[in-house]
Amino acid sequence: MIRLMVIPESVVMARDALNAGVDRLFLDLERAGKQDRQGTGTWISSQTLEDVRRYRETFPDAEMIVRTDPWSALKRDDLEQIIAFGPCAIMLPMIRDLAEVVAMRDAIGGRLPLLPLIETVASAEALAGIAALEGVEEIYVGLNDLHLDRGDSFMFQALADGTVERLAGIAFAAGRRFGFGGIARLGHGDLDAELIIAEHVRLGSTAVMLSRKFKDRATGPFDWAGEIGRIRQAEARFGQRSAAQAEADRLDLVATVDRITGNKTPAGNSTHHEQGSR
């Protein structure tokens, strides 16, 4: 099953999301360099260490992940406080080389799993070494920063051209869980979220972020249970496909990305992952 993650904007939102079947709360403390990379119009989380404490105390049994600043900007006292609050894992963003992941892993010292966020070309190239590290249980690919680092015009080009599938294969070969990207509500988004969920299922992904577009009406009445239910129904439906049907859906995604970007992505031959094997 794909673990659904959400960055909560309030305790009420967190409670509604968890009650509806969202699997993980995601607390985002990353600040360093983010606006410079993504531009002045980007959304940057305002969450703090106090929010990590508050959400953990309010939802003591919830699965909670905390994203820190990149290793080069991370304050060690902040890391110790995060660990003391008891998240289920710590995510390290903007990895530039294997040494940064080793340093973060050593600083955690086995107290929590480390979840490397692969969102730079350098970290993608170093993934085999990263995934092999003790203390790493899961790999996540961040498509927004990755597309910026690659110089792509659209966030999902790395999904269409087989890059995400290649990275998934490296993670699975090391015995690690794997997730990627974010989704809007089904039927919404520049690339329909249903096509993205279809690829999560085909690739054996076990995690996805519910994006800000997913929650764009969640400050008022929002049908969390209905929207999560639709994702689960789609996940189950895609899990019953034949290999030929899964490949046809992949090619539909590629064609849609090509229409959006005006490019032509080589169709290639996809390596099919058996459904339910991850």
Residue 48 lies in a domain: yes
Parent domain of 153: 3-261
- CATH number, domain at 21? 3.20.20.60
Residue 219 lies in a domain: yes
Domain count, the chain: 1
Residue 228 lies in a domain: yes
C-beta contacts of 267-270 below 8 A and 24+ residues apart: 268/162, 270/162, 270/165, 270/202
- The answer to whether residue 192 scores a pLDDT higher than 70 is yes
pLDDT band at 125 (very low <50, low <70, confident <90, very high): very high
- The answer to whether residue 71 scores a pLDDT higher than 70 is yes
| SS3 label, residue 216 | coil
- Alpha-carbon gap, residue 167 to 199, rounded angstroms: 14
Residue 55 lies in a domain: yes
Q: What DSSP designation does 136 have?
A: B
- Alpha-carbon gap, residue 171 to 193, rounded angstroms: 23
Per-residue pLDDT at 218 = 53
pLDDT band at 213 (very low <50, low <70, confident <90, very high): confident
Per-residue pLDDT at 267 = 62
95 neighbors 130 (Cβ within 8 angstroms): yes
Lowest mean pLDDT among 171-175, 196-200, 270-274: 270-274
Express each pLDDT in 173-183 by its tens digit. 999 999 999 99
Q: Which of 114, 147, 119, 144 is nearest to 131 (CA)?
A: 114
Count of other CB atoms within 10 angstroms of residue 36: 9
Distance of CA 138 to the CA centre of its chain: 11
- The answer to whether residue 149 scores a pLDDT higher than 50 is yes
Average pLDDT over residues 84-97: 97
Residue 267 lies in a domain: no
Return the structure tokens found at 247: 């490949």
Q: Which of 245, 226, 195, 231 is nearest to 1 (CA)?
A: 231
Average pLDDT over residues 169-193: 95
Q: Any idea which residue has 């690690």 for tokens? A: 176
- Alpha-carbon gap, residue 71 to 78, rounded angstroms: 12
* Residue 257: partners with Cβ closer than 8 Å, 6 or more residues away: 154, 156, 157, 159, 160, 191, 263, 265
Three-class DSSP labels, 20-56 = HCCCEEEEECCCCCHHHHHCCCCCCCCCCHHHHHHHH
Per-residue pLDDT at 235 = 98
- The angle that helices 49-58 and 76-85 make with each other, rounded to 10 degrees, is 10
Per-residue pLDDT at 275 = 40
Lowest mean pLDDT among 19-33, 47-61, 99-113, 153-167: 19-33
Average pLDDT over residues 123-152: 97
Q: Half-sphere exposure of residue 225, counting CA atoms within 13 Å on the CB side?
A: 3
157 neighbors 261 (Cβ within 8 angstroms): yes
Express each pLDDT in 232-253 by its tens digit. 999 999 999 999 999 999 999 9
Average pLDDT over residues 171-196: 95
Residue 225 lies in a domain: yes
Residue 269 lies in a domain: no
Rounded-to-5 percentages of helix, strand, coil across the chain:
45, 15, 40
* Residue 33: partners with Cβ closer than 8 Å, 6 or more residues away: 70, 73, 94
Residue 268 lies in a domain: no
182 backbone dihedrals φ, ψ, rounded to 5°: -145, 160
Report the predicted TM-score, pTM, of the whole model to 2 decimal places: 0.91
**CA torsion through residues 95, 101, 105, 107, sign:** negative
From residue 201, how far is each of 16, 20, 194, 205, 277 by CA, in Å?
Answer: 25, 21, 11, 6, 10
Q: Indicate the average pLDDT of the chain.
A: 92
Q: What percentage of the chain has pLDDT greater than the value 70? A: 90
